[in-house]
């Protein structure tokens, strides 16, 4: 109670500070996208203007772009612990996930047509496996435990002699749970035999700046990143493909990216992504510490002040910046609208469709009811957030939840 009293008091003070500047935006949706870091923006600028060459041409201006891309590739490879030649630049997380799943499955289709993934992947993976199903592949969707963790044993149990591709995300974008990818890799290797018959992909989009993304430590053959999730620009990403991994390019045309991804390279995006990835990795330890403190005050504040509120996902095996809570009896849509009016940008796992709020597929996979899955709130912090913003947010969520429950109660009467 004493702690709750203190958060309330801090909230009132913070509310005063925030309202004295109505333009102040409290941005708590870093899992959706992040503000660009100045180093990325500065690195990109010249490549929009005077250094505009197409990296595939032969004159000096073009070679300048080629050098910038090659250097960016080296820098990304250093962070991932890979060879530069194993990195394919793409337009972002969705393209990398699509290319990984389709590229490996198509390359290995004579060997087998069975794919293993999980029920809680991003739609960039799930929609790719749906497309592969239409093309005659079979897909097993492993269910996580109630805590959102996919056990290595459950992945091993789903493997068949004709399995060719396994895809398990490193950290979930909705509930922040961190999957035991290295242990899953061991299981996959054991089943795969010396010929490395099965390709293992991980969607690590949510990880940079919060978790290490070393491809050897993870033991993966493919790994997806998206620049805008770690302080880089939107529309840039990469796919790591371990040397020797069977891969059939699905974006075809020119010979860019060593014939693995056709299309003129997005020089500014690539250069910005490399700068952002290095900055995220350099700041990782400090960011984790800062974010974790704010995340924990959100979780403690909301669970103390909103009756029956509960945390979704594992309490500790989760990203340092992710608080995802279910607030029974509080619909996500009016809650998010109320938060927006109060100057707080937040999110819910539920997707808005024309008619209604679709419950989150991740929360349903955890065994939640449709109603509970429609009452989730995701707050993802970044290192630039402040303790005052967090106190104000907890205060606002508590007030809105009480109001929405009162309104729902009187509507029932």
**Min dist. Cβ of residue 363 to ligand PLP (A):** 15
If one asks whether residue 97 binds ligand PLP (CB under 6 A), the answer comes out as yes
Listed ranges 59-67, 198-206, 270-278, 338-346: which one lies at the site for ligand PLP (CB under 6 A)? 198-206
Q: What per-residue string of b and e applies to 124-147 under the rule 16 or more CB within 10 Å gives b? A: bbbebbeebeeeebebbebebeeb
**What is the separation of C-alpha 38 from the centre of its chain, rounded to a whole number of angstroms?**
21
Q: Does 350 bind ligand PLP (CB under 6 A)?
A: no
Q: Out of 129, 226, 245, 266, point to the residue binding ligand PLP (CB under 6 A).
A: 226
Binding track, positions 123-142, relative to ligand PLP; x by CB under 6 A: -x------------------
CB nearer ligand PLP, residue 94 or residue 287: 94
Nearer Cβ to ligand PLP, position 117 or 226? 226
Active-site residues, by number, are 352
Beta strands in 36-149 (DSSP E): 87-90, 114-118, 138-142
- Looking at 53, 237, 359, 382, which residue binds ligand PLP (CB under 6 A)? 237
Q: Of 214, 217, 382, 20, whose CA–CA distance to 225 is shortest?
A: 214
Give Cβ neighbours of residue 395 (< 8 Å, ≥ 6 apart): 7, 8, 11, 12, 14, 15
Nearest to 25 by CA among 40, 35, 13: 35
With CB under 6 A as the contact rule, which of the stretches 182-190, 203-211, 252-260, 322-330 interacts with ligand PLP? Answer: 203-211
- Residue from 7, 34, 82, 94 in contact with ligand PLP (CB under 6 A): 94
Least separation in angstroms between CB 7 and ligand PLP: 29
> Which of 341, 335, 63, 340 has the alpha carbon at shortest distance from 349?
335
| Cα separation, 286 vs 296, whole angstroms | 16
Residue whose Cβ sits closest to ligand PLP: 93
Residues 171-190 vs ligand PLP: string with x where CB under 6 A? Answer: --x-----------------
Sign, Cα dihedral of 121, 124, 126, 128: negative
- Tell the smallest beta-carbon distance from residue 251 to ligand PLP (Å): 14
Task: Note whether 122 binds ligand PLP by CB under 6 A.
Answer: yes
Closest CA to 382 of 12, 14, 26, 23: 26
343 near ligand PLP, rule: CB under 6 A: no
Contact between 93 and ligand PLP by CB under 6 A: the answer reads: yes
Please give the radius of gyration of the chain, using alpha carbons only, rounded to the nearest integer. 22
**Residue among 382, 385, 389, 122 at smallest CA distance from 276:** 382
User: Toward ligand PLP, which CB reaches closer, 98 or 192?
Assistant: 98
Chain positions contacting ligand PLP, by CB under 6 A: 92-94, 97, 122, 124, 169, 173, 203, 205-206, 226, 237
């Amino acid at each position: 109670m004493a702690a709750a009293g203190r958060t309330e008091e801090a909230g009132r003070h913070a509310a005063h500070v925030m309202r004295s500047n109505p333009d102040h935006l409290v941005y708590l949706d870093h899992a959706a996208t992040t503000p660009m870091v100045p180093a990325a923006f500065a690195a990109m600028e010249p490549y929009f203007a005077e250094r505009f060459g197409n990296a595939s041409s032969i004159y000096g201006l073009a070679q300048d772009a080629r050098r910038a891309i090659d250097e960016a590739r080296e820098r990304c490879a250093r962070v991932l612990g890979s060879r530069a030649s194993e990195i394919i630049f793409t337009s972002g997380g969705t393209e990398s996930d699509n290319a990984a799943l389709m590229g490996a499955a198509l390359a290995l289709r004579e060997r087998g047509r069975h794919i293993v993934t999980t029920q809680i992947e991003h739609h960039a993976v799930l929609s790719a496996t749906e497309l592969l199903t239409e093309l005659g592949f079979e897909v097993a969707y492993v269910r996580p435990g109630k805590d959102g963790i996919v056990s290595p044993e459950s992945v091993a149990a789903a493997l068949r002699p004709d399995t060719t591709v396994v895809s398990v995300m490193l950290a979930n974008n909705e509930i922040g749970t961190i999957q035991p990818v290295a242990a899953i890799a061991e299981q996959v290797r054991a089943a795969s035999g010396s010929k490395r018959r099965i390709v293992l992909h991980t969607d690590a989009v949510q990880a940079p700046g919060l978790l290490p993304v070393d491809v050897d430590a993870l033991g993966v053959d493919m790994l997806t990143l998206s620049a805008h999730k770690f302080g880089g620009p939107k529309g840039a990403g990469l796919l790591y493909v371990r040397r020797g991994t069977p891969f059939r390019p699905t974006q075809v045309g020119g010979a860019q990216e060593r014939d693995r991804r056709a299309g003129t390279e997005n020089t500014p995006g690539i250069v910005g992504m490399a700068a952002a990835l290095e900055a995220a990795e350099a700041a990782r330890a400090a960011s984790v510490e800062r974010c974790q403190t704010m995340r924990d005050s959100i979780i403690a504040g909301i669970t103390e002040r909103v009756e029956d509120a509960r945390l979704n996902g594992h309490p500790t095996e989760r990203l340092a910046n992710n608080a995802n809570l279910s607030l029974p009896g509080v619909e996500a849509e009016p809650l998010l609208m109320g938060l927006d009016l109060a100057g707080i940008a937040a999110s819910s796992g539920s997707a808005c469709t024309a008619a209604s709020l679709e419950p989150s597929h991740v929360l349903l996979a955890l065994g939640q009811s449709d109603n509970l899955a429609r009452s989730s709130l995701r707050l993802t912090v970044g290192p630039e957030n402040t303790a005052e913003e967090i106190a104000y947010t907890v205060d606002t969520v508590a007030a809105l939840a009480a109001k929405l429950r009162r309104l729902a109660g009187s509507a029932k009467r």
